Structure formats: C-alpha cells, structure tokens
Structure 1
Amino acid sequence: GSIRDDGPLPPVLADVYAAQDAMRAEIRSATTVICMATALHTIAAGNMTPSYRVLADGTVRQVYFYCVDISEFAVNKLSDRGSLSARGIVTNVQDFIVHLSKELIQP
C-alpha cells in the first residue's frame, strides 16, 4: 500500500516526512538494494541511496542498486537523475523472481 491508497494499510506511514526518514534508515544499512515494479518508490530509493557504505570493521563497500521493471521509464529516470551505481534490468518482474529463485535455491 501507499499513502495514496484509499485508507492506507496498517504498516503504511501516512506522514511523508516520517516515511522518508524510515526509508533513509533502511537504505543506509543496506549493501544491496533491489527495487522491483514500482517506479515512484524506485526513484525515491535511488535518490537517497549512497554509492558506498562503511561497514562496522571500517571496510568501505560499494552499495549495489538494481532496478527491475518491465518499463524503461524507471531505469532511465534513475540514470537521468545521476544515480551512477544503479543498474537497470528491463524485464517482467515475475520472470525475474522465478529465475532468481531458481539460481539461489539449487538442490
């Protein structure tokens, strides 16, 4: 759900500023971000995702950012806005998840 839904779902933050703060907190702890099939959230996440993260042991690590969408709009929008570390995958999200799960879960 989103704040634009009729009557937001219980876990939805109706305060836009609180929602942005919550997204920033999650993204700052991430080392890999995969955004799928939601252009507005993908663009918002891409705009606030740092290009690197300093781990607890002092290691500097790149933050990997992937955008999976059937439309090139979200992918192109990220690159147009300067999200340099973002990699776009233009495909059907369902196919992406099926193939990814097959590769990750092997007998």
Structure 2
Amino acid sequence: MKVEIVTPADHTRLIIEDLASRRGSIMDRSFLGDAVSVHAMVPLANMFGYDGELSTLSKGHAVYTMQFDHYARTPAEDPDPPFRPAAAIKLASGGAD
C-alpha cells in the first residue's frame, strides 16, 4: 500500500520507526511548514490497527491516507514475527509440542 502521513515535525521519528516495524519502506519526506509529509510503502497486512497507533504516536495530530499500489510476493516466513498468537496461547496454557 502507498501510505502518506502528515504529522507535526516533532512526531516524525516515532512515526518512521513505527512504519519500519511494520516492514514499511520510506520513499520520501517533505516539509510543509511546521508539518512533515512522509510517503511510504507498507504491506496491507501490517496496516491493521494503524489508526489507533498513529493517534497515540502523534497525540491525535497526524492524519494518513492509504491506497493500493501493487501486489508483491510475500516474503518467506519471518523468523521473528512481532506477535505469534498460537505460540503465546500455548505458553499461557502450559502446553508443549
């Protein structure tokens, strides 16, 4: 997905770090007075829940748009995904393989 975020300049670093954690690639940044426009490409699967996260990171001052750009092959299994629900449930229940 092609994503554009417009945020106050003092929140830019946090937003870029969050996009990187979502496997996003920053394409461009431009300054709009006291704001910054960040353009990135991010897999759709990693954008779920972004509304709330962006609001938290920017204290409600950032907005974003997202639109389809292209299909891409999904990478091989991530050796360290950010969250593994099945593994977490298994550990919490004391189950073993």
Q: If the length of structure 1 is used for normalisation, what is the TM-score?
A: 0.28
| Higher fraction of helix | 1
Which structure has the bigger radius of gyration? 2
| Higher fraction of strand | 2
